[in-house]
């Protein structure tokens, strides 16, 4: 069993416990045990860089924390993945910046030398596609639409994973678990979740367009693998339904749907039995 640290990120830690629960359970099934990453902090996301150049200290802190444990990091959100990888690349290419960051880290007893690898859950499952397929023996009768997390494949030059315009990796994982995927015309669009931070109504309209398109295509559920996508499409769906009665689509986390195909009881995946 390989051991990695689970970096839940703020959103999952605060309100998406079902995502964390199912991720731990399902990655355990395919040979990756997720250990607790005590004392992790916000990755910085797009929030801290909006206010200060010191954001990189926060991202580097998380990388250093993992390095001290001698473990790589598994992320659950696109934005955490991109931010941590962005910081790692900046520090890898800029010795002066790395020196400045290490001065800060030294104040709290840490240092970073560039050894931490950050992988999103889709990447981990893609690495172990054969185990996903071999472990999925239960037929799950649901046709799902996919919400690809933008930042797992974009910017392509940084992420180096999947097709940045038409991501395919999550589809391959879901299909390896034997689940039917429907195409829909909004599949490759961003969910729009981060727009909630500044313009709520337009963000809800983007989600409405996305959900309607999936329902029209015959989807019975939408699979997400990012806390931000879940926040808008799942946690805000009641707001969307207010202006669009009847618009309702179950939103399911990637490890939940794969977990069901593996025969893991729904309750152990944070789902109602």
Binding site for another protein (CB under 8 A): 10-11, 13-15, 17-18, 20-21, 24, 36, 38-42, 44-54, 57-58, 61, 79, 82, 86, 104, 107-108, 150-151, 154-156, 164-165, 189-199, 202-203, 205-206, 270
With helix as H, strand as E and coil as C, how does the chain read? CEEEEEECHHHHHHHCHHHHHHHHHHHHHCCEEEEECCCCCCCCCCCHHHCCCCHHHHHHHHHHHHHHHCCCEEECCHHHHHHHHHHHHHHHHCHHHHHHHHHHHHHCCCCCCCCCCEEEHHHHHHHCHHHHHHHCCCCCCCEEEEECCHHHHCCHHHHCCCCCCCCCHHHHHHHHCCCEECCCCCCCCCCCHHHHHCCHHHHHHHHHHHHHHHHHCCCCEEEECCHHHHHHHHHCHHHHHHHCCCCCCCEEEHHHHHHHHCCCCHHHHCCCC
The burial of 43, by beta-carbon neighbours within 10 Å (0-12 exposed, 13-18 middle, 19 or more buried), is given as: buried
- Kindly state the smallest distance separating residue 139's Cβ from another protein, in Å: 27
- Kindly state the smallest distance separating residue 245's Cβ from another protein, in Å: 22
Specify the residue, 132 or 206, whose C-beta has the smaller distance to another protein. 206
- Kindly state the smallest distance separating residue 203's Cβ from another protein, in Å: 8
- Kindly state the smallest distance separating residue 235's Cβ from another protein, in Å: 12
**Residues 58 and 46 sit within 8 Å (Cβ to Cβ):** no
- Kindly state the smallest distance separating residue 11's Cβ from another protein, in Å: 6
Specify the residue, 14 or 134, whose C-beta has the smaller distance to another protein. 14
Specify the residue, 229 or 257, whose C-beta has the smaller distance to another protein. 229
Specify the residue, 97 or 205, whose C-beta has the smaller distance to another protein. 205
- Kindly state the smallest distance separating residue 176's Cβ from another protein, in Å: 26
Give the number of other Cβ atoms within 10 Å of residue 263's Cβ.
12
Round to whole Å and give the CA distance between 97 and 85: 15
- Kindly state the smallest distance separating residue 180's Cβ from another protein, in Å: 26
Specify the residue, 103 or 137, whose C-beta has the smaller distance to another protein. 103
Q: C-alpha distances in angstroms, 256 versus 159, 239, 270?
A: 25, 24, 8
- Kindly state the smallest distance separating residue 231's Cβ from another protein, in Å: 10
Specify the residue, 151 or 237, whose C-beta has the smaller distance to another protein. 151
């Amino acid at each position: 069993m390989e051991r990695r640290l689970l970096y839940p990120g703020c959103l999952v830690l605060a309100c998406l416990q079902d995502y964390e629960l199912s991720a731990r359970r399902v990655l355990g099934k395919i040979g990756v045990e997720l250990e607790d990453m005590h004392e992790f902090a916000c990755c910085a996301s797009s929030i801290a860089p909006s206010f200060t150049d010191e954001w990189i200290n926060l991202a580097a802190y998380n990388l250093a924390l993992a390095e001290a444990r001698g473990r790589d990091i598994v992320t659950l959100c696109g934005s955490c993945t991109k931010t941590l990888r962005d910081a790692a690349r900046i520090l890898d290419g800029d010795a002066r910046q790395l020196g400045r960051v290490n001065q800060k880290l030294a104040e709290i007893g840490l240092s970073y030398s560039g050894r931490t690898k950050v992988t999103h859950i889709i990447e981990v499952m893609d690495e172990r596609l054969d185990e996903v397929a071999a472990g999925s023996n239960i037929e799950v009768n649901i046709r799902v639409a996919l919400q690809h997390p933008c930042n797992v494949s974009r910017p392509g030059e940084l992420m180096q994973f999947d097709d940045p315009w038409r991501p395919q990796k999550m589809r391959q994982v879901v299909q390896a678990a034997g689940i039917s995927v429907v195409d829909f015309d909004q599949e490759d669009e961003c969910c729009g979740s981060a727009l909630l931070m500044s313009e709520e109504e337009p963000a809800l309209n983007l989600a409405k367009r996305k959900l309607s398109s999936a329902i029209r295509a015959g989807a019975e559920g939408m699979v997400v693998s990012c806390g931000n996508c879940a926040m808008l499409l799942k946690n805000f769906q009641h707001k969307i339904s207010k202006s669009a009665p009847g618009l309702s689509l179950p939103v399911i986390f990637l490890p939940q749907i794969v977990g069901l195909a593996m025969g893991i009881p729904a309750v152990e995946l944070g789902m109602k039995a």
